[in-house]
Each structure stands twice: as structure tokens, then as C-alpha cells.
Structure 1
Amino acid sequence: MAENVDGRVTALRVSQLDAAELDQEVLQLTKTHLNKIFKYHQSSFLTTYDPEINALLKFVLWKFSIHQWDASIGQQILNIRYGGTKGSQTWMSSRQKWLYTLLLIGCPWLRDRSHDLVRLLRIENLEDRIEKYLQWAETTMKVATLVNFLMFLRLGGYLSLVERILGIQSMFPQRQGLRQVSFEFMTRELLWHGFSEFLFFALPLVNIQRVKNTVTRWIFPRQTKQRPLVERSRHHLTSCGVCGEWPVDPQEIGCVHVFCYYCIHSNYKADPGLTCPLCDKNIPDLDSIQPVRLRIQPQS
């Protein structure tokens, strides 16, 4: 870390990256709360004026952070401030603050509204040319941003292209103590992520329905008791042996109980060793599942 004449040192690269991520999270949280306010609003106000809303939120955050304290909200959390280049004893000047606002708020708004502004010109053969210039400028900025980020990873210093243009750096106001890095939390997270990925891979290979039926038969054994179909009562016809609801397209397997078509077929295809959940009657094959046939005994 480079030390200034007044004891200030350039912030660590990881601290600058963390501060940038925190700033993005603060902006997203603020916008999320704003969306909740207009959750039940029927108009498309937020969608229509989304660039203006983003610019307004950024300006409010800038007003109560960089404008007052020479540091963004994420930088304040990590005890970082924007300062001049090496050898300078000042923080951000008023001119740098307003240029910072213009570049980080005005330029993104201008980019989002460029198509609408071009249409307002209504000059023939000029819209396509302006569109090409804007695309070229945007591509150039992306390439420059990438080059600047690679330089930041290699040498440190300026995290964003705006910082390099304005000549401001993220600095610690005071010399920091030895940074203690604990890998306990990271190790725990990696362990749980690995375990969850293993479960996502293994669970589809397990026949959950078959395991469930096997455990149920083992814990709650039933004695098979065959009954003729003539003994089927009204109660048997009004409830499915699997789901307990009114049977849809009633099916039977040779016992007095009836089942929904989907319940019995889906369970049998998942577990060929399926038996009747109520009397433990086995199902020899798929042809044994037949529509319910009522046998009415004539009264004598």
C-alpha cells in the first residue's frame, strides 16, 4: 500500500471491491422498497420513468454520502474515503464531486434516454448516424472499463474509469492494523454448498415413492384378508384407498377397496411392489388394475 505524506494509505483492492458491491446492494434495496410502495398502483409510472427514478435515487444517495463525507455508503462502512493522488493532502474537491455526479448519474441517464432524445430531433438521415456514434462510444467505454479493471487487478489504485479520469483514489484515513482473515465461514459455506450439490445429484436417483411404501409396510404391517367383491360397501366406493378423497375414475385391484385412476397407476409405476395401503393386497401386474365392476346381489 502506498503511504501519503499525512499517513493516509491507498485502500486494499479487496476493500474497494467490497465497497462497490455494498453500494450496488444499497441502491437495489432502496429501489426494492420504492417498488413495494407502488406495488398495488395500477399505472406504469415506474416502468415509464425508470431512468429518471434511477438517477434520482443515485442523486439522493450521493447527496448524503459523497457530497457530505467524501465517501460512498459502502466506503463509509469499510472506513474508506476518496482522496487525491499520491502526495496530495486533500480529499475530494467540490469540482470533483460534481463531475463525479455528472459521470455516474448524468451519463447513464443520457444513455438510457438516448433513443427518445434522438427521436425528438426529427431530422432525416441524422438518427442513424447518431445511433452509430452512440454505439461506438458505448463500445469504447466498455473496452476502456475492461482495461482499467485489469490494471486495477494488477496494480491497484483506480477501481473505476471515473476515478482515473477525476484523479481520485479510495484511501484509508489512517494506517490500518494487520488484516486478520478467517476462513471458518468460507469453509462452512463451501461444505454446505458441496453437500447441497450432492443431494441435488443423488435425490433424483432415489425412488422416493418406493422407499416410502416399503417403510410403511415395514412399520405398519397388515394381514391380507381376501373378501369377495359382493362385500364392497358404500364406504369403500366413496373414498380412495390412497388419497382418501372421492375416487376419480374408480379402479380396483381385486380387493374391496377402490382407488383413483391416477393414484393407483402412478404409485404402481413408481413402485411395482405396491400393495393395497389398507389391506396389503398385492398387485401381480398392470393388467390387474381394472375399472370398478359392481356386483349387485338380487334380493331374495
Structure 2
Amino acid sequence: MSLPPAWESSWAAHLPHLRGIQSALGFLRAFPTHTPRIGQLDAELLDEELAQVLQEPLAKAFEGVRSSWRGVFNLELGLLIRLILYKFSIWDNAASYGASLQGLKLADTRAPGSPIRRKKLLLHALLTLGIPYLHARIRGYALSRAWPDAPSTDRRRRAWAWLTSAENAHAVLGLAGFVAFLWDGRYRTLTDRLLGLRLVPSRRVDRVVSYEFMNRQIVWHALTEFLLFLVPLVDVAALRRRLRQYLFSLRKSPYLPSPVRTLLERDSTSTSSEGEQKGPYATLPSNECAICARRAALPNLPYPLANQLAASSIIVGASVPTYPVQTPYVASCGHVYCYVCLTEQMVAAADEGEEGWSCLRCNKVVKSAARLKADDSEVVDADEEDLGDPDAVTPEAD
């Protein structure tokens, strides 16, 4: 499809003018793409973090040799690390490690298309590494010699005033340079602006941010917080007991593997052949309340935690004082406890959603209790009769 003759003549008439504009703007071809400001700032932060990560283990190594070396040679160690990083990054590749991660490199705006001269790189290293080191060393020396406290006529005081004025001037110029950088996005620091160096893209960078890792971290953080909230509320002993009962109920299932079924049947047989199970207070005299003894050994603990610790072997056989039974009530397992103690434990177990409370003498589940009667033969204890304990429990008549 051919263009109208009027269009073709107009294009031919304006083409020399367009070529003149293109040749006049030829000096801008060295930076054809826009460099994001956030990438340049991130490169500087990454360089600083890398230097700190490398400096910390070396400083700890100095502490291991002599503890005073870390404070004395901390500035020199930081300067050495930054010089090494400068040699293998900016000096060799015209890009620091942080800039390389951002897809940037240093370029000389005063000599577009040509590599940066070594003299300019040396001056850049002196201004970015040498001057800050000298400033920190001079400031530390002045503070250690109390220059700010010297008389106003002393030359040390005048040197400190000059140093403070230089710091303030540098801070003001740095703020002005940063504002200019936010405006045009060209020179990141005063040194770069003075030497005509700026960061330009070294490769095509995709600025699309993926939030997959952040979402994963948020999910794991929420799960961790939930577990930290949930775990202290779980009664491990009750959970273990219910799991054991559930496994025993599956031992007759035809779908269960034969090795697992054999193991469960063997465990059930051994448990039943042992006769009466032993609790942590099985050896306590029958005229003493095991709940009172447990409370004395584990004071001020909530019911689930105290029940778990009482079931452990730490307190088995411990020497405890005498705790006579007050208002004796006999549990469904046949052991006697105080009415208040037994009622409190059964109510707490019901609040926890359990079927009953585990006896501290036989580990059987207590589902009910009744007032101790005079003709109950289970309360007669031979040790009581032999010892003649005045605090021995006496069955009460109805």
C-alpha cells in the first residue's frame, strides 16, 4: 500500500531536520535505558551488609586471640575487608557485588562508551574508603584525648571545632546530593557526582517482584505461633492414654498388618498379666492421701502439668511427709482419698473432657467415688495396726 504523494513529500522535507535532531542528541546514547533509583540504593545496602557479614567472624577470631584487639583494630579490619572487596569487584569489573546483583555497573559520564580510567578508580577508592577511615580514626583519637573539653584557646579545641564544622558541611552537602539524586536519579553519592560516575544497567533486569517466598514465610510464622499457643494446652498423658486405647481397640481389625496386631496383642497380654498396675504413689501408706502428697511435691501447678509430672519417675520413692486422709472417700478403683482432693481432681478431669481421673496408686481411671463405710474391708491396712498411728484413717459409720 503506497502512501499519498503529499505524505511522501512532507516526510522527505522533514527527514533532514529529524536527522539533525538525532545527531544533536547523540551524546545521550550511552544511557539509553532508565536506571531505577531503588536498585541503586539497594546496591549500596547490599555492599554494606556484605562487608559486615565478613567482618563479624574475623572480629570474633581476634577476640579469641586477645579480647582487646577487637576494639583496637576494628577500623583497620573493616578497611582491609572493604579494600579486598573493592579490588575484586569495582577495580576488576567496574561493579560492586551489590550492583552486580542488581544488574548495574559504574560508567563514566564524562567519557561515554570507554572504560573508567585507573586514576579515577584510585581517587574513587580514596574518597569512599580512605577518607571515612581517616575521619573515624581522627574522631576516635580526639575523643580519647578529650579534645571537646579543652579550653577554647587551646589548639585541640579549635581542631575539634574545625572537624565538627567539616562534618556538618558534609552532612548538608550529602542531604542536598541525595535530594538531587531523588530528583534526577543519576548520581547516588557526592563522590559519584564529583567524579562523574553513575550506575547504569549492565543487563536487562526484570523488576517484577515475586511474593512467593514472603507468603511462605508468613504461613510458617502463623503456624509456629499457633503451635506455641496450642502445645501448652495439650494434656500429653491423656492424649497418650487415648491413643493407646484406640490402638488396643484396633488389634482385632482384619485390615491391620499381622506384625502390628501381634505386637498389640502381646502388649495387651503383658499388661493384663501384670495384675494391678502401679502408680507413682503405689508405695504410699494407705492412711495418707496421695493427692495431698503430690501437691506438696508439685506446688502451684495446673492440673494437666501436675498430673504428667506425678506420673513420671522423678518423684517416685521420694520422701514425703505424712498427709492423713480427711473426710475419706473411696474411689471406684478401691483407694481412699480426701473428699475435697478427689472431687477437685474429678471435676478438673471432666473439664478437660476426659472420661475420668487416673488414680495415683494404681493408674486406673476413676469414674466415681463414694463415702467410706465402716464395713469396707479395703480400708484395713496391716501397717496401720502394727504402727498404731494415731492419725490413721478410721472408717466412719453411716
Common topology (TM > 0.5): yes
Residue 285 of structure 2 corresponds to 230
Distance 2:219 2:65 in 1: 43
Aligned AA for 2:93? W
- CA offset at residue 134 of structure 1? 3.1
Q: Distance between the aligned counterparts of 1:134 and 1:166, measured in 2? A: 24
Which of the residues 241, 247, 252 maps onto 2:310?
241
Which amino acid letter does the alignment assign opposite residue 180 of structure 1? D
Correspondence 1:180 to 2:180: no
| Matched residue type, 1:297 | E
Q: Does the C-alpha gap of structure 1 residues 54 and 224 become closer, same or farther in structure 2, counting only changes over 3 Å?
A: same
Contact 1:3 1:10 in 2 (8 A): no
* TM-score (norm. length: structure 2): 0.51
Deviates most, 106-115 or 78-87? 78-87
Q: Which amino acid aligns with 2:384?
A: Q
Q: Distance in 2 between matches of 1:214 and 1:143?
A: 68
Paired AA for residue 157 in structure 1: R
Out of 49, 55, 76, the residue aligned to residue 31 of structure 1 is 55
TM-score by length of 1: 0.65
How many Å separate the matches in 2 of 1:45 and 1:111?
20
* Structure that is richer in helix per residue: 2
Aligned residue for 1:286? none
Cα 1:213–1:6 change in 2 (3 A) is same
Shift of 1:86: 6.4
Residue ranges of structure 1 left out of the alignment (5+ in a row): 257-267, 283-294
| Residues 190 and 43 (structure 1), Cα distance of their counterparts in 2 relative to 1, 3 Å cut | closer
User: Within the alignment, does 1:297 sit opposite 2:384 as a pair?
Assistant: yes
Counterpart of 2:178? 149
Residues 77-88 of structure 1 mapped to structure 2, 5 A cutoff:
77-85=101-109, 88=112
Find 2:43's aligned residue among 19, 30, 44.
Answer: 19
Q: Provide closer, same or farther for how the CA distance between residues 131 and 280 of structure 1 changes in structure 2, counting only shifts above 3 A.
A: farther
Identity of aligned residues (%): 20
Q: Does 1:163 align with 2:163?
A: no
1:117-168 deviation digits (Å, cap 9, x = unpaired): 4366987534344434434433443444344334333421112222122221
Cα distance in 2, alignment partners of residues 8 and 75 from structure 1: 18
Asked if structure 2 preserves the Cα contact closer than 8 Å seen for 1:18 and 1:74, the reply is: yes
Change (3 A) 1:253 1:4: farther
Identify which range, 208-217 or 62-71, moves more after superposition. 208-217
Cα drift, residue 225 of structure 1: 10
SS in 2 for 1:89: coil
Look up the SS of the partner of 1:64 in the other structure: helix
Residue by residue, what CA displacement relative to the aligned partner does 1:47-101 show, whole Å, maximum 9, x if unpaired?
2111111112212222233233332233345553322226733333333222222
1:228 CA displacement: 9.9
- Give the Cα–Cα distance (whole angstroms) in 2 for the partners of residues 16 and 139 of structure 1: 25
Distance (Å, rounded) in 2 between the aligned partners of 1:130 and 1:138: 12
SS of the residue corresponding to residue 106 of structure 2 reads strand
Q: CA separation in 1, counterparts of 2:133 and 2:312?
A: 58
2:219 corresponds to 1:195: yes
SS at match of 1:164: helix
Question: Take 1:272 and 1:43, find their aligned partners in 2: how far apart are those partners?
Answer: 58
Q: Does 1:92 pair with 2:116?
A: yes
Asked if structure 2 preserves the Cα contact closer than 8 Å seen for 1:71 and 1:81, the reply is yes
Higher relative contact order (CA 8 A, sep 6+): 1
Aligned to 1:265: none
Deviates more, 1:44-53 or 1:98-107: 98-107
